[in-house]
Amino acid sequence: MSTVQEEAGFDVDKFIEESIKRIRELNIDKALAAVSGGVDSTTAAVLVYRAIGERLLPVFMDTGFMRLNEPEKVCSLLRKVLPTLELIDVKEEFYRELEGLDDAETKRKTFRKVFYTVLSRIARERGCNWLVQGTIAPDWIETRGGIKTQHNVLEQIGLDTRREFGFRVVEPLKELYKDQVRMVARRLGVPEEIVRRQPFPGPGLLVRCVGRFYPEKLEVLKVANDIVERSLENLDLSQWFAAIWEDDHMLDEELTRFVREKTGLDVEVHIFMKARGTGVKGDSRVYGPIALIRGNVPEDKLYRIYLYITSRRPDIAHVIYEISRRERGCYFIAIRAVITSNFMTARVAKLPLDLLKKISDKIFEKCSDVVAVGYDVSPKPPATIEFE
Ligand code: XMP
């Protein structure tokens, strides 16, 4: 009888066995693994741990861009498979370098620079000349295609890591897709909480702090995101989270007229002035405006309106439907929830509007600076799952 992985054309045991053999052949003296608690970096570290034992030093870098209380929670979970894991607080350095930046790619590139500067310092201090990374296939495919700078893609874009950072890179999962990584993780005994965790971008909440970054905005996002994650955790979604930006938008009269004509609905279409979002078109990356639909729209008409807006204005990267608004506050919170098997394409989860309203109420209650909450109705492609 064939196993699930054989049916999918992937033999987990053979992969593990061959990876361990290949890692041993590298003659690694001492390697550093920066583990984030995501399934990719954890699985990569555990695989190398199996191959070289305690010559692997696993560290968890608290960059400040993790979710609410996540560093402590994740570390205690990770120590079940990586008992020597060390937690290192590097928040200040990250905030200092990133504060005030607003362009998505500049933020990603700066995050990557700080990340590897800090990491190579730690590696030097600990005498490690190898770095373990949990890079998987979509990471480098998208970076090489110019869609987005994944923070962990180095060698595939021609960076000489030995010269730049003083270490060589080992990436045992670089040919795998997410579902294959999960199979490997389970076979290696990685705790189910980690295997099933939704994916989290390398630069963390930085890419959900849309536009200009500053620490106060991040703190509001952490609280709102925690509410969103908890409220949707039992719905079998692939990825769900909150993003934040300044609630600064203007009515687009032309789009509003067009959508009203097409649907007969009394809606307004606005465009955010400060926030822009990322999308994918063919093989390249686009960075475009974010539109906001305001007014009463039946759930089953939202996608149609999305199509009208983006057919008229293909430059618009994400379309958000406003769920609730109040008088005071300066931030807009967008809820994102998608269903996907490979994260290269994704559809928007059809969440009941009354559930989204309840979540908005909770956000208003806990975050006094939030003025409005919306739901992202954009599929991937042409939008990306993240906003930056
Ligand atoms: P996008 O936004 O490109 O995201 O549709 C696809 C999937 O990749 C995750 N993602 C990242 N993962 N480093 C990562 O390890 C990154 O820089 C990064 N950016 C996006 C995203 O959360 C989604 O699951």
**Model confidence over 4-36: pLDDT tens digits?**
444 468 999 999 999 999 999 999 999 999 999
Segments of the chain scoring below 50 in pLDDT: 1-7
Q: Is 149 in the pocket of ligand 1 (CB under 6 A)?
A: no
Instruction: Give which of 384, 370, 259, 252 is closest to 318, Cα–Cα.
Output: 384
- Count other C-beta atoms under 10 Å from residue 96's C-beta: 9
Q: Is 151 in the pocket of ligand 1 (CB under 6 A)?
A: yes
Q: What is the pLDDT of residue 377?
A: 98
Reading the block at residue 377, the tokens are 């109705």
Outline which parts of the chain fall under CATH 3.40.50.620. Answer: 4-195
Q: Which atom of ligand 1 is least distant from the CA of 40?
A: 15
Is this model's pTM higher than 0.85 or not? yes
Q: With H, G, I as helix, E, B as strand and everything else as coil, classify residue 318.
A: strand
Q: What is the pLDDT of residue 73?
A: 93
Q: Which atom of ligand 1 is least distant from the CA of 134?
A: 15
pLDDT tens digit sequence for 56-110 = 999 999 999 999 999 999 999 999 999 999 999 999 999 999 999 999 999 999 9
Cβ atoms of residues 344 and 220 within 8 Å: no
The CATH architecture that domain 209-376 belongs to is 2-Layer Sandwich (3.30)
Nearest CA to ligand 1 atom 18: 201
Residue 21 to residue 18: CA distance in whole angstroms? 5
Q: Which helix (H) or strand (E) holds 185?
A: helix 178-187
Ligand 1 centroid, distance to 258 Cα (angstroms):
33
Ligand 1 centroid, distance to 280 Cα (angstroms):
12
Q: Is 166 in the pocket of ligand 1 (CB under 6 A)?
A: no
Nearest CA to ligand 1 atom 9: 201
What type of residue is 121?
A: R
Ligand 1 centroid, distance to 372 Cα (angstroms):
25
The domain made up of 4-195 is a member of CATH 3.40.50.2300: no
Q: What is the pLDDT of residue 285?
A: 73
Outline which parts of the chain fall under CATH 3.30.300.10. Answer: 209-376
- Detail the DSSP E strand segments found in 326-382: 331-339, 347-348, 370-376
Instruction: Give which of 209, 228, 230, 210 is closest to 218, Cα–Cα.
Output: 209
- Count other C-beta atoms under 10 Å from residue 121's C-beta: 14
